[in-house]
Amino acid sequence: MTLDRTVAPPSGELFYSPFAEAQKVEGSRIPTYYINAGEQSIVKLQLKLKSGIWYESFLAESWFVAKMLMEGTKSKTAHELSEAFQALGAFIEIDPGFDDVSFNIYSLTRNYSQVLDLFNEILTEPTFPEKELETLKQIRLNEHRVNNSKTSMVASKKIRESLYGLDHPYGKAIQEENIQSIQRNQLTTYFNEKFFNCPELFLSGKIDDELLKLTQDKLTFPFLLNEEKANPAISGMEKQIEINRPDNLQSSIKLAWHIPSKLDQGYFDLAISNTLLGGYFGSRLMKNIREEKGYTYGIHSYPVHLNHASFLLISTDVKGEYAEDTINETFKEIEKIINQPTTEEEIEMVVNYLSGTFYSSVTTPFKLMGKFMQIHNIGAGYEHYERYFESLKSFDVDKLQSSIKQYLNVDQVRRVVVGPMS
């Protein structure tokens, strides 16, 4: 029998199927969660600290503190630290962000004890050497200058500035003077007074009781904090920002709206609606702006969730002469969804795409832990995903139109264009 690839296979019933859930280690000094899954003898250790930009007194200090941890300890240079991880077949990532500083360590199970010793040394015995700090400052300055030459990077900064204002942690952008003014004593003060705030550990892979005990015994943080910073007011700036960059080839467009958190009653409908609008390759925006008009290689719409705020972003790069048309066509697609019926076939396609994407995101131990961290971060349980599938099953044109109308009002949009102006 020959397979006819022009005919789609029959669709089945949409349902939520439970998957491996994270367990909490009871009685641990540091909240620790684990998922024991997978066949390979590999473990991923993740440490999250609430010590990102949100908690800074001076711009850039959390980034420098995090990055300087690998620049030397009391007994090892930066080169020796790097070689030690490689010799153990381990890999470490340090990711300072808006809210958190995250550490991701991948290790062979047989070398995990030694990797923990090395990680603990980094966390408890950093020296913040002056020479390496000056080198890191120069690297960051060069990156900053390169990024400021890119229209997309400038537009990203400006859209956050428009949404939150220059006095808000999410609206501030690091300037050259912030990098140049960083001093070693600032970093040691931040490290000693703010860095180990609300630590949490997450382990995934081949996990057993011995490995959990090793983690608890060997990670000896110098101190622990449990502090939250008050949420500052969102002032916002002008809704429309245009920066003329005549020497650039393309214009970067960012359109954004404030949206509710993942716990809001209407969030799931918004997430599904956004997928139809611009959240996957078959979306309305891709068909119009990319396939029909040929203005861009890609246009994407997606929610951005930070610990204290969320926004929905539509982003694309086009030739400067097409920037205004692209924005107008985007608004037309939003109005079409609100005012014209959407076929059941299009809605079914989006729902099937999202359900398939969900199950492809829980295929490994590391992905399973990622799913847990998403709900844990917002204070939800696994029933959150059950509600998501219920929303997929009940989604219809009325919910689509209502959600787009409520959250993507074109009169409330924040709009940034950076690049050559026609």
* Tens digit of each residue's pLDDT (9 = 90 or more) over 52-77: 999 999 999 999 999 999 999 999 99
The Cα 101–Cα 335 span in angstroms is: 40
DSSP 8-state assignment for residue 10: P
Phi and psi at residue 73, in whole multiples of 5°? -120, -175
For residue 177, list its beta bridge partners: none
For the stretch 160-190, pLDDT in tens is 999 999 999 999 999 999 999 999 999 999 9
Q: Which of 141-145, 228-232, 406-410, 417-421 has the lowest mean pLDDT?
A: 228-232
Q: Residue 2: pLDDT above 60?
A: no
Q: Where are the beta strands (DSSP E) in 27-177?
A: 32-36, 42-49, 91-96, 101-108
Q: What is the pLDDT of residues 293-339, one digit of tens each?
A: 999 999 999 999 999 999 999 999 999 999 999 999 999 999 999 99
pLDDT at 261 over 50: yes
At residue 176, the pLDDT reads: 96
Residue 72 CA to residue 395 CA, distance in Å, equals 54
Is the model's pLDDT at 213 over the cut of 90? Answer: yes
Name the band, by pLDDT with cuts 50, 70 and 90, for residue 202.
Answer: very high
Q: Look at 56-65, 192-201, 230-239, 250-259 and tell me which has the smallest mean pLDDT.
A: 230-239
pLDDT number for residue 291: 96
CA-CA distance, 257 to 260, in Å (whole number)?
Answer: 10
Mean pLDDT score across all residues of the chain = 94
- Alpha-carbon span 228 to 248, nearest angstrom: 42
Query: What is the C-alpha to C-alpha distance for residues 116 and 133, in angstroms, rounded to an integer?
Result: 25
CA dihedral sign, ordered 190, 192, 193, 199: positive
Radius of gyration of the chain (CA): 24
Q: pLDDT value at position 1?
A: 45
Q: Which residues pair with 416 in a beta bridge?
A: 241, 254
- Ordered domains of the chain (ranges, CATH): 23-218 (3.30.830.10), 240-419 (3.30.830.10)
